[in-house]
């Protein structure tokens, strides 16, 4: 089972001592569930999470983890029910909306995913959670919502992200806008900065594929694939170039 990240930020203890005690117990059960899930005891973890939400129905992060577990078991309707409950219990949580968006994204339900990410971006106040913005930008670019992607990148720039995702998506936006030479420069700069930049090589592959320089595209996709970039591997094997990797 994929390692499950612990989410507890933003959960406030209730004022009433009895209710606060229940919430503390629920959070402990939730944490215990995360721990044993990462040890491979998924069914036992599910029991912990189910018990935690019985004690404190507002513990939306437990619903998210249950949704993830059901996904891994291909129980898609149950997974969606959990993500729906997470959003219902925490309508103001960027994490809840983002989790449901990632669920829709995995199912390639892109129009649904982008609306979830759009709401998550509106609610996100944590500058460390840039992945929420990148999720929205990625799907916006794929659905040709270039203006929306540009605005999201502009907002993200104010947070001064250091990760290479930011210049990659800037380059990808440029490519979508038809500025192939500028996109090649942007991706080339990523590779010049770090020869092992999977995103840089993948981006160059996208450029060369677009202008029908087949051998160059395959070479860049192969390099990115060797650097463990899954969409590049699929593009190299099938030459079906898709940012989301299908």
Structural domain for 182, as ranges: 164-246
> Taking a C-beta distance cutoff of 8 angstroms, is the pair 204, 220 a contact?
yes
Instruction: For residue 207, tell me if it sits in a domain.
Output: yes
Look at the chain and count its residues: 246
Q: pTM for the complete prediction? A: 0.84
Look at residues 161, 180, 204 and tell me which one is the last residue of a structural domain. 161
pLDDT at 4 over 70: no
Instruction: For residue 120, tell me if it sits in a domain.
Output: yes
- Residues whose CB falls within 8 Å of the CB of residue 150, separated by 6 or more in sequence, listed in order: 173
Check whether residue 201 and residue 236 sit in a common domain: yes
Check whether residue 192 and residue 146 sit in a common domain: no
Q: How far is CA 80 from CA 101, 108, 155, 193, in A?
A: 11, 14, 30, 41
Check whether residue 205 and residue 126 sit in a common domain: no
Check whether residue 172 and residue 157 sit in a common domain: no
Q: How far is CA 218 from CA 96, 100, 124, 227, in A?
A: 38, 34, 38, 14
Query: pLDDT, tens digit, for every residue of 138-196?
Result: 999 999 999 999 999 998 988 866 788 999 999 999 999 999 999 999 999 999 999 99
Instruction: For residue 96, tell me if it sits in a domain.
Output: no
Instruction: For residue 112, tell me if it sits in a domain.
Output: yes
Check whether residue 82 and residue 143 sit in a common domain: no
pLDDT at 116 over 70: yes
Look at residues 90, 118, 134 and tell me which one is the last residue of a structural domain. 90
**Residue 74: which CATH number?**
1.25.40
pLDDT at 3 over 60: no
Instruction: For residue 100, tell me if it sits in a domain.
Output: no
Q: How far is CA 191 from CA 40, 188, 201, in A?
A: 38, 5, 7
Q: How far is CA 55 from CA 49, 111, 202, in A?
A: 10, 35, 47
Instruction: For residue 137, tell me if it sits in a domain.
Output: yes
Residues 204, 210, 216: CA angle, nearest 5 degrees:
50
Question: Residue range 203-229: average pLDDT?
Answer: 95
**pLDDT class of 128 with cuts at 50, 70, 90:** confident
Check whether residue 114 and residue 157 sit in a common domain: yes
Q: How many domains does the chain have?
A: 3
**Residue 194: which CATH number?**
1.25.40.10
Residue 74: phi, psi to the nearest 5?
60, 25
Look at residues 137, 161, 185 and tell me which one is the last residue of a structural domain. 161
For 127, the enclosing helix (H) or strand (E) is none
Check whether residue 60 and residue 141 sit in a common domain: no
Check whether residue 82 and residue 9 sit in a common domain: yes
Question: Residue range 14-21: average pLDDT?
Answer: 55
Instruction: For residue 99, tell me if it sits in a domain.
Output: no
């Amino acid at each position: 089972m994929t390692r499950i990240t612990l989410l507890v930020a933003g959960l406030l203890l209730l004022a009433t001592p009895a209710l606060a005690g229940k919430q503390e117990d629920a959070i402990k059960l939730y944490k215990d569930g995360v721990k044993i899930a990462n040890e491979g005891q998924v069914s036992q973890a599910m029991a912990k999470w189910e018990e935690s939400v019985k004690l404190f129905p507002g513990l939306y992060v437990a619903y998210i983890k249950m949704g993830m577990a059901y996904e891994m078991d291909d129980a898609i309707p149950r997974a969606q029910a959990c993500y729906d409950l997470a959003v219902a219990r925490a309508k103001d949580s960027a994490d809840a909306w983002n989790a449901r968006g990632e669920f829709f994204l995995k199912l390639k339900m892109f129009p649904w995913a982008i609306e979830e990410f759009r709401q998550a971006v509106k609610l996100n106040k944590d500058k460390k959670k840039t992945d929420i913005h990148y999720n929205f930008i990625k799907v916006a670019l794929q659905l040709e919502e270039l203006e929306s992607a540009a605005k999201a990148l502009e907002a993200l720039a104010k947070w001064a992200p250091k990760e290479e995702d930011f210049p990659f998506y800037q380059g990808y936006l440029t490519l979508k806008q038809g500025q192939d030479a500028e996109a090649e420069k942007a991706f080339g700069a990523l590779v010049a900065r770090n020869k092992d930049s999977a995103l840089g090589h993948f981006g160059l592959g996208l450029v060369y594929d677009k202008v029908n320089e087949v051998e160059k595209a395959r070479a860049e996709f192969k390099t990115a694939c060797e650097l463990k970039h899954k969409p590049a591997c699929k593009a190299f094997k099938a030459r079906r170039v898709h940012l989301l990797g299908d």
